Every structure is written in structure tokens, then in C-alpha cells.
Amino acid sequence: MLPSLTFVLGGAASGKSQIAENIIINSGLTPVYLATARIWDDEIQTKVDAHRARRGPDWITINAETDIATPLAQATPDQAVLLDCATMWLTNTMLDERDLGAAQNTLLTALAACTAPLVVVSNEVGQGIVPDNALTRQFREAQGRLNIALAAQADRVLHVVAGLSRTLKGDPL
């Protein structure tokens, strides 16, 4: 049985999405994918296409670039919802110049109220070099605050490196 909220954190291309997808699949519940990526160019489209192909046709896919609360409110206990990923959601929120504090509070409230078990994927961006411009530093700080809040709210937190997960909080897989 899945906990209410599992948080999967790792670097870019660490394998976190595939681990999160497997958690959802292994639950035996109807898999729902909340996609937050905006298709900016061919490279992102190729990545999105690869993720869709890997998941296969059994997944319900909902595009949710910034509005996560609506699909979470519509989720049912017989579903398992994967939000992939909080980093793209934050990027979209920042680029839309929305109030980050209010948007984060709305997201966290929606996660807590959801009746379906959730798995949220996010990037760890605080282990690299200090960014050279203000926007990137603002993003890094906002992502760090979001990850801290998600980890605090989660029942289980996994850290993924090189396709391997380590349980940081809660019951191991």
C-alpha cells in the first residue's frame, strides 16, 4: 500500500522518474500522470515523447503546467497520481511571474487534500555551483524551499542517484 505522499528527489537524469513510475505501477491502482513540462523546443518534445512511450497506454495523462490543484481534487482513491515534476511546475510558475509563496501554499494544500496516493518527483538543484545570475539563484533558492516543504509533508522521501534510490524518510520500498 502506498503512503499518502511519496517524494522522489534526485539530480537531472538520475532515474527518479522511472523509479517513481514503478512505484505507481506496482501499487496496482489506476496510474495517473500529471505532466508539468512545457514544450519549448524539439529537445523537450523528444524527452516528453520518450517518457510517454516508456509509460505506455495504461496511464491517464493530464497536462498540468501550473494548475495542480484541480486534477488533484478530481483524483479518486482507486488511482495513484504521479506529479512529474515539481521542478517544471516551479519553472512555469516563476516564468508566469506568479506569487511563489501563494502558489506553493496552494500546491501543498492540494497535495494534503488529495484522496489518491501521490508520488511527487523533483530535482535536487542545490548541490552544484553557485549560479552566475540573479534569476537562476532565485530559482535555486525557490526550488530548495519547495523541496524542503515537500519532504516535510511527505510520508516517504527517496533520494535517487544513478538509478538507485535510498530512503531518507519513512518505510523503505
Point out the residues that are catalytic.
51
Strands 156-161 and 164-169: antiparallel
* Residues in contact with 84: Cβ distance below 8 Å, sequence separation at least 6, in sequence order: 17, 20, 33, 34, 35, 36, 51, 121
Pairwise CA distance, residues 83 & 80, whole Å: 10
Pairwise CA distance, residues 122 & 57, whole Å: 24
Pairwise CA distance, residues 96 & 102, whole Å: 13
Pairwise CA distance, residues 56 & 10, whole Å: 23
* Residues in contact with 63: Cβ distance below 8 Å, sequence separation at least 6, in sequence order: 35
